[in-house]
Amino acid sequence: MDLSSTFFPGFVINNLDNKVKNKIKCNVLNMDYAGECPSICPVCGETLIGHGKRTLEITDTPIMGDPGLLHLRIPRRRCSACKYLWQPKIQYVDENHLLTERAFTDISQKAIKQPFSDVGKEYALSVNTVKSIFIDFLNEKKNTLRFTTPAFLGIDEIKIPKLGEITVITDLEHRTLYDMLEGRNQDLLRKYFDELPHPENVLWVCSDMYRPFEKPIHVDLPRARWVVDHYHVVAYANKAMDSVRIHVQNQLSKEKRIKTKKGLAYTLRTRLKRLSTEEQLLIRECRKNSVTNPIAIAFDLKEEFFDIYDKHLNSKADAQEAFAEWEKKIPRDDSFDGFHKLVGTVHNFYEQIFNLWECPIHITNGFTECTNRLIRENSVKGRGTSFDILRGRTLYRKTNLERIEDNGMLLIGPNIPQKGSIFHYEETKDIDDNYNEDESQYFNSYDYDPFIGLRPGIDYDPETGEILQEFEDKEEVEW
Ligand SMILES: [Zn+2]
């Protein structure tokens, strides 16, 4: 039996045994201390005398396919004069968790992707123990793993049940998740930017129209310019159009309401060039009737608003002129209030919206939106997980760390084990056979790229990234 791989410094192997722990069979290596024992008390200089032996049970990496335990038998000595108690310091053991350091590293890395319960089975540890190890690992990473401050920063927020709002920060140039913050407000962001290494690295920030971002961006990021993500801007055009549609449909009797195969809301949100002939004819029909005509006008306004981006991306002046022209076409009628509000919004964020044309890359928060979907999935699958666990599992994911590393954005590296890669990148086992609802420690590994990683069945506009969904006709329009 070759036990050389389980060599443990300062100890000699006595024998191999086994025991059952947490209902799992474990291989146990009994080892005896083979190091020095002092004979003089380091405190008072008197003689130390034998004070019995003690056995420590330390969890190690699996031994021959089963969970591994080290039973380390250590001597103790006591000073008869000052009662000082000596016992050997054991190298490579994390005494808090009674784990070898290699087990700590392996457990933490596996816990990024695998359910805590699976890792627990491999180590004969309880779910809570694995979780507590993972939390300690995350705290350690907070200090040792730093990424270079990106030049193109994406900021977005996501609401997670029980955790509330989370601010998501991405590196838009390299398409990596940069960080996640618990909460979303000006003070939080100011504090975060204030502590950001090299805040002058940030040249562009892309976000939605959230006015409290203005101060942190302008004050704390001295060279940054703020761009409002065009996805968020055009989303308002869709909402404005929806409000007209709802207004018109409510005037019609149930039978007379306009219906399309996929639902009228969906049809109207589709870009003109992607409409079926049948749908185009239907919109043409709407034009002929004074009651339904506003729907057709709203559709045209939506299309033209999208075209400000689509057709004038090469010239800021042309785009601004197109917006000015568009603004004039909105009927004064109250039923177009959604569009009037949109005009107000564009004027409020005029500089930030049209900054897009000055940005050297076609900046969009599409990647951040995809990251949000991933975070949401992680949180749904791992119900009840804390913010730190959600952040750790999303941030320290294989694809994210690899991409950060590949792009040379790793500022302070992780501890690099002498053998093997920086992180273990093994694939997740098929998560679902033993998925236990109560434990909820499921993690779905799921690689994505902007607008590629969407779940099947979700239709979206490939140009804007806008998600096209079916809406109930009675919905309220939120502003
Ligand atoms: Zn002493």
* Residue 459 confidence (pLDDT) above 50: no
Distance, CA of 155 to CA of 171 (rounded, Å): 9
pLDDT of residue 6: 53
Q: How many whole angstroms from 76 Cα to the centroid of ligand 1?
A: 14
Query: What's the 50 CA to ligand 1 centre distance in angstroms?
Result: 13
Residue 477 lies in a domain: no
Residue ending a domain, choose from 375, 398, 413: 413
What pLDDT is recorded for position 384? 59
173 and 287 co-located in one domain: no
- Contact status, residue 125 vs residue 21, Cβ threshold 8 Å: no
Instruction: Please tell me whether residues 287 and 213 are part of one structural domain.
Output: no
Q: Which of 413, 439, 472 is the last residue of a domain?
A: 413
Q: Does a structural domain hold residue 243?
A: yes
Distance between Cα 86 and ligand 1 center (Å): 10
Q: Indicate if 387 and 335 belong to the same structural domain.
A: no
Distance (Å) from CA 41 to ligand 1 centroid? 5
Same domain, residue pair 282 and 369: no
- How far apart are the CA of 263 and the centre of ligand 1, in A? 85
Q: Is residue 435 part of a domain?
A: no
Residues 282 and 382 in one domain: no
pLDDT confidence bin for 158, thresholds 50/70/90: confident
Distance 49 CA to ligand 1 centre (A): 10
One domain for residues 11 and 97:
yes
What integer pLDDT is reported at residue 354 of this predicted model?
95
Residue 473 binned pLDDT confidence (cut-offs 50, 70, 90): very low
Q: Examine the domain organization and report whether 355 and 257 are in the same domain.
A: yes
Nearest residue to 366 via CA among 180, 224, 235, 226: 235
User: What's the 47 CA to ligand 1 centre distance in angstroms?
Assistant: 7
- Do 265 and 174 belong to one domain? no
In a domain, 117, yes or no: no
For residue 39, report the distance from its CA to the centre of ligand 1, in Å.
11
Ligand 1 center to 297 CA (angstroms): 93
Residue where a domain stops, chosen among 54, 77, 106: 106
Chain centre distance of CA 386: 13
C-alpha 83 to ligand 1 mean position (Å): 6
Instruction: Quick: pLDDT tens for 368-405.
Output: 777 777 787 777 666 557 888 888 878 877 677 777 77
Q: Is the pLDDT of residue 316 over 80?
A: yes
Binned at pLDDT 50, 70 and 90, residue 137 comes out as confident
How confident is residue 255, by pLDDT bands cut at 50, 70 and 90?
A: confident
Report the CATH number at residue 187: 3.30.420.10
Residue 73 predicted with pLDDT over 90: yes
* Those residues with Cβ within 8 angstroms of residue 140's Cβ, 6 or more apart along the chain or in another chain: none
Q: How far is the CA of 91 from the centre of ligand 1 (A)?
A: 24
Task: Write out pLDDT tens, residues 415-434.
Answer: 333 333 333 322 233 333 33
More confident residue, 326 or 161: 326
Rg (the chain; Cα; Å): 30
Total domains, the chain: 3
Determine the distance separating the centroid of ligand 1 and the alpha carbon of 72, expressed in angstroms. 26
In the predicted structure, residue 479 carries a pLDDT above the cut 80: no
Q: Ligand 1 centroid to 409 CA: how many Å? A: 53
On whether both 267 and 356 belong to a single domain, the answer is yes
244 and 304 assigned to the same domain: yes
- Of 164, 223, 58, 198, nearest to 386 by C-alpha is 164
Q: How many whole angstroms separate alpha carbon 82 and alpha carbon 84?
A: 5
Q: What is the mean pLDDT of residues 168-190?
A: 89
* Closest listed residue to residue 136, CA positions, set 166, 101, 89, 186: 101
> Phi, psi at residue 166, to the nearest 5°?
-125, 130
pLDDT of residue 443: 27
Residue 336: inside a domain: yes
User: Would residue 319 count as lying in a domain?
Assistant: yes
Residue 318 sits in which domain range?
237-362
**Whether residue 290 sits in one domain with residue 211:** no
Tokens 């006709």 correspond to what residue?
473
The answer to whether residue 183 sits within a structural domain is: yes
Do 253 and 326 belong together in one domain?
yes
